[in-house]
């Protein structure tokens, strides 16, 4: 399942550089996570790094993007393949 930053975000800027897939960007109001790039850090770390570094605990699972671990790993493989091209 992709992750989502909720309205508690204080724009502290620590999550964006922590994301290994460059899925986090500054939105109009708060940071946003691109569900097409978010793999919950599967294949990189044991837990999502944005959640680890977030000081206000504003990152939740996004129910609009239910994905299994195999689906997240397949997404990671696709991202890595795109990066190589």
Query: For residue 53, what is the DSSP state?
Result: H
Under the banding of pLDDT at 50, 70 and 90, the label for residue 84 is confident
Where are any strands of DSSP class E within the chain?
A: 3-5, 24-26, 31-33, 59-61
pLDDT at 72 (0 to 100): 96
- Domain positions in the chain are 3-84
Q: Where do we find the tokens 């993007």?
A: 65
Over residues 21-68, the pLDDT tens digits come to 999 999 999 999 999 999 999 999 999 999 999 999 999 999 999 999
Instruction: Answer whether residue 8 shows pLDDT above 90.
Output: yes
pLDDT at 64 (0 to 100): 95
Question: Does the domain at residues 3-84 carry the CATH identifier 3.30.70.20?
Answer: yes
Contact of 24 with 33, CB cutoff 8 Å: yes
| Cα distance between residue 69 and residue 54, in whole Å | 23
């Amino acid at each position: 399942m992709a992750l989502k930053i909720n309205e508690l975000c204080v724009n502290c800027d620590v999550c964006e550089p922590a994301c290994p897939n460059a899925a986090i960007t500054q939105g109009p109001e708060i940071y946003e996570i691109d569900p097409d790039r978010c793999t919950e850090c599967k294949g990189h770390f044991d837990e999502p790094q944005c959640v680890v570094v977030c000081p206000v605990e504003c990152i939740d699972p996004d129910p609009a993007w239910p994905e299994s671990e195999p689906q997240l790993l397949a997404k990671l493989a696709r991202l890595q393949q795109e990066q190589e091209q």
